[in-house]
């Protein structure tokens, strides 16, 4: 009887692929595993393993800090607005600090709301594993109400939201 694999004696499969069944052993139906079936099994296992190792997903983004501020100095917010008068500022900034796994550049979108109506949208690049970014919203005197700034990933999922009151 010929061995199903000519190199089987020189390269034992148990040593080459630990954890996989030896194709020369009998399977549940009493026969031996064919080379095609064995390679299909190995290919499927590799595919399933590699499927989870792909590029980082947008959902892998983590916002470690987000604040609406009156000014940004040296790349950082100087305060965190919770209540403010529309007559005291000309603009507000939504500062966001993002951490993400290594991978290609991505973006986040900051959406500004006044009384649940969109008043501004800004797409911002995220170019590093630890990245700071911000959007600027010009404030017109008399724009009072409940304000909100949301950070969305590139798929549109909400990452974080900050709410404040403007009188």
On whether both 106 and 29 belong to a single domain, the answer is no
**Structural domain includes residue 117:** yes
Any domain includes 1: no
Same domain, 37 and 88: no
| 79, 31: one domain | no
Tell me, yes or no, whether 31 and 87 share the same domain: no
Name the residue with tokens 């100095």: 73
| Range picked from 29-43, 47-61, 143-157 for highest mean pLDDT | 143-157
Q: 149, 95 in Cβ contact below 8 A?
A: no
134 DSSP 8-state letter: E
pTM here is: 0.64
Say whether both 46 and 75 belong to one domain.
Answer: no
**Residue 64 near residue 94 (C-beta atoms within 8 A):** no
Residue 3 in any domain: the answer is no
Which band of pLDDT confidence, cut at 50, 70 and 90, is reported for residue 55?
A: very low
Looking at the domain assignment, is residue 76 inside a domain? yes
CA distances to 45, 57, 68, 92 from 79, in Å: 52, 32, 8, 11
Confidence bin at 54 (pLDDT 50/70/90): very low
Evaluate if residue 165 carries a pLDDT over 90.
Answer: yes
pLDDT at res. 78:
92
What residues make up the domain containing 22? Answer: 13-51
Q: Are residues 154 and 75 in the same domain?
A: yes
Q: Residue 166 pLDDT more than 90? A: yes
With a cut of 70, say whether residue 117 has pLDDT above it.
yes
Question: In this structure, are 129 and 108 located in the same domain?
Answer: yes
Decide if pLDDT at 58 tops 70.
no
Torsion of CA 53, 56, 57, 60, to 10 degrees: 110
Per the prediction, the chain carries an average pLDDT of 80
- Range with the largest mean pLDDT of 44-48, 57-61, 99-103, 150-154: 150-154
Strands 83-84, 76-77: pairing is unpaired
User: Are 47 and 64 found together in one domain?
Assistant: no
Q: Residue 50 phi/psi, 5° resolution?
A: -75, -25
CA distance 127 to 125: 6
């Amino acid at each position: 009887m010929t061995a199903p694999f000519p190199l089987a004696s020189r390269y034992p499969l148990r040593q080459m692929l630990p954890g996989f069944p030896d194709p020369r052993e009998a399977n549940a139906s009493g026969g031996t595993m064919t080379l095609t079936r064995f390679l299909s099994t190995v290919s499927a296992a590799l595919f399933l393993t590699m499927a989870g190792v792909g590029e980082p997903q947008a959902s892998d983004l983590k916002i470690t800090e987000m604040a609406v501020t009156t000014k940004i100095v040296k790349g950082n917010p100087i305060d965190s607005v919770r209540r403010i008068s529309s007559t005291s500022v000309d603009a507000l900034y939504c500062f966001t600090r993002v951490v993400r796994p290594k991978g290609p550049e991505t973006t986040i979108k900051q959406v500004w709301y006044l009384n649940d109506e969109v008043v501004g949208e800004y797409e911002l690049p995220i170019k590093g594993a630890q990245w700071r970014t911000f959007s600027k919203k010009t404030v017109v005197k008399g724009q009072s109400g409940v304000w909100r700034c949301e950070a969305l990933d590139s798929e549109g999922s909400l990452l974080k939201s900050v709410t404040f009151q403007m009188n």
